[in-house]
Chains A and B, each alone.
Chain A
Amino acid sequence: MKNSTLTPEESLLLITKTIEEMKQRFKNNGHILIFWGLLTFVVAMSQFTLYNFEYYKIHWYPSFLYPLGAIYMTVYIWKEYKKKKLPKTLIGNILGKMGWLIGLNFMILGFFFSQKIGDATAPVFLIFLAFFIFLAGISIKFKPLIISGVMLNLFAFATFYVHDHYLYLVMAIGSFALTIPGILLNNARRKENV
């Protein structure tokens, strides 16, 4: 790029183009949503299966995959940013910290207070998740994420009426609110790059 002066129209075009390119760069995170969606699905289905085969004492063991997933994802994101020398963004920072906060709260609730909140564990988890998905959608202005967040929020309240026997199954269904927008986000990026 040369250091020439520009006409007002060229200046405005350059600003718009640069800011838009920077925004697009950070939309490329569909695989993170797919990862969490699949992990939630695997954990919930494993718990559902163990619960149904009456392994009540160990049916919650698969939930240990969540902290492992969080560690893996943190290392992965950190390495990606370092490798590609990506800049820090305010949105990325806020979403990352909020993701950690929500995840940590859910793990504390799940591991230490599940007896207290009982059947409400699944709906509370889904409300947390819906809140995060909705905010992520607004931040990157991606409609499928916003819609998923709203749908999941409504679905979470409906799960209060589901028999406790099927709560893990409900969580597995809820995981699609991450997987589907993740796939759509990846597809949208691929189309933009063609």
Chain B
Amino acid sequence: MFKDLDPILHSQLRLSIVSILMSVEEANFSFIKEETKATSGNLSIQIKKLQDAGYVKVEKSFINNYPNTSLSITKKGMEAFENYVNNLKSYINPK
């Protein structure tokens, strides 16, 4: 039986962001922008959606007078990602 895929994660850019954050402890906005090759505006919107869902934590600070936005995955985000991957498997290898 097919399980529902989390709509928050089931989008190319949001899934990329979460995949990156699953591999690191913390990453800043410009690194994610470079990796995903997304525009700043689109990236900000998708990060906001992930933040609202409680999947990522966003921290804003200043480094040498320059604004710095760092992101990390939350426990809820990790669990959602694991569930998403497990549900994906049921689509690819249906029993």
| Contacts from A to B (Cβ < 8 Å) | 1-6, 8-9, 11-12, 14-15, 18-19, 21-23, 85-90, 93
B24 touches A1 (CB 8 A): no
Which applies to chain B's interface (DSSP): helix, strand, loop or mixed? helix
- B22: nearest chain-A partner, CB-CB: A19
- Chain B contacts to A: CB under 8 angstroms: 5, 10-16, 19-20, 22-28, 30-31, 34-38, 42, 46, 84-85, 88-89, 91-92
* Interface contact A8-B88, CB-CB below 8 Å: yes
**Chain A residues within an 8 Å CB radius of B42:** 3
Smallest Cβ distance from B12 to chain A, in angstroms? 5
Residue from B11, B24, B42 whose CB has the most chain A CB atoms within 10 Å: B24
Known: A18-B35, A93-B25. 14 other contacts (CB 8 A): A3-B14, A3-B46, A6-B10, A9-B92, A11-B15, A12-B92, A14-B12, A22-B19, A85-B34, A87-B24, A87-B25, A87-B31, A89-B24, A90-B24
Whether B12 pairs with A88 at a CB distance below 8 angstroms is no
Nearest 8 A-B pairs (CB), nearest first?
A87-B27, A22-B23, A8-B91, A18-B19, A87-B24, A88-B25, A88-B26, A3-B13
Distance of A183 from chain B, by nearest CB (Å): 26
26 of the cross-chain contacts (CB-CB < 8 Å) are: A3-B13, A4-B11, A5-B10, A5-B11, A5-B12, A6-B10, A6-B12, A6-B15, A11-B5, A11-B15, A12-B89, A12-B92, A15-B15, A18-B19, A18-B23, A19-B19, A19-B23, A85-B28, A85-B31, A87-B24, A87-B26, A87-B31, A88-B25, A89-B25, A90-B25, A93-B25
CA distance A21 to B20 in the complex (A): 9
Contacts of A90 in B (CB 8 A): 24-25
B22 to chain A, nearest CB (A): 7
A58 and B22 CA atoms in complex are apart in Å by: 51
B19 touches A15 (CB 8 A): yes
On chain B, the residues within 8 Å of A18 by CB distance are 16, 19-20, 23, 35
Inter-chain contact B28/A8, CB cutoff 8 Å: no
Complex contact A22–B28 (CB within 8 A): no
Query: Bound state CA distance, A15 and B82, in angstroms?
Result: 11
The residues of A that contact B26 with a CB separation of less than 8 Å are: 87-88
> What distance in Å separates the Cβ of A71 from its nearest Cβ neighbour in chain B?
21
On whether the beta carbons of A3 and B12 are closer than 8 Å, the reply is: yes
